[in-house]
Amino acid sequence: MISLIKDFVQSRPAWSVVLVWYLRAMAVLLLGGGLIHWARIIGIVPWRGAWFWDMPVEWQAATVFFAVLDLVAAIGLWLTVSWGAVMWLFRALTQVVMHSAFSDVFGRRPYEIAFYLLTIALYLTLLYLTEREQRR
């Protein structure tokens, strides 16, 4: 069993490749999220039974904000440029603040907060491992 784990660790791709895969997976998730937000804006799908024009102004603003930001961050993450990661981190932390500090307006979503914090931690870990590998 231990030799299997050792072989797997030795045959894994470089951490930089794993980081690129991770960023592109996040880009696909953001692309899907952005398209869903745009579908809400143009009236294809409702959100929690409410159409975009019936939502409170706060929700309308958040929907438009994330509709644009998700697609911009998705492009940046797919291209693996630094501004893509910055936009994604900004987007994730905005979502965490929305559902914690402004939970009376946007609702409390502990699973969503945990997801964003976990994805950020995983990104920072992969970034650290990539930097450490490149220094060798």
Q: Give the pTM.
A: 0.86
Residues 6+ apart with CB under 8 A from 85: 23, 76, 77, 123
- For residue range 76-105, list pLDDT tens digits in order: 999 999 999 999 999 999 999 999 999 898
- Residue 89 within any structural domain of the chain: yes
- Residue 1 within any structural domain of the chain: no
- Residue 34 within any structural domain of the chain: yes
Please check whether residue 63 is in contact with residue 43, taking contact to mean a CB–CB distance below 8 angstroms.
no
Identify the bridge partners of residue 50 per DSSP, sorted by sequence position.
47
Please check whether residue 72 is in contact with residue 86, taking contact to mean a CB–CB distance below 8 angstroms.
no
- Residue 7 within any structural domain of the chain: no
Q: Is residue 2 scored above 70 in pLDDT?
A: no
- Residue 40 within any structural domain of the chain: yes
If one counts the domains in the chain, the total is 1
Q: Is residue 6 scored above 90 in pLDDT?
A: no
Residues 6+ apart with CB under 8 A from 133: 14, 15, 16
- Residue 4 within any structural domain of the chain: no
- For residue range 43-80, list pLDDT tens digits in order: 999 888 889 999 999 999 999 999 999 999 999 999 99
- Residue 6 within any structural domain of the chain: no
Identify the bridge partners of residue 42 per DSSP, sorted by sequence position.
none
- Residue 66 belongs to what domain range? 13-135
The arithmetic mean of pLDDT across residues 5-27, rounded, is 86
DSSP assignment string, 82-102:
HHHHHHHHHHHHHHHHHHHTT
Rounded to 10 degrees, the C-alpha dihedral 23/63/69/34 comes to 50
Tokens in use for 50? 């409410």
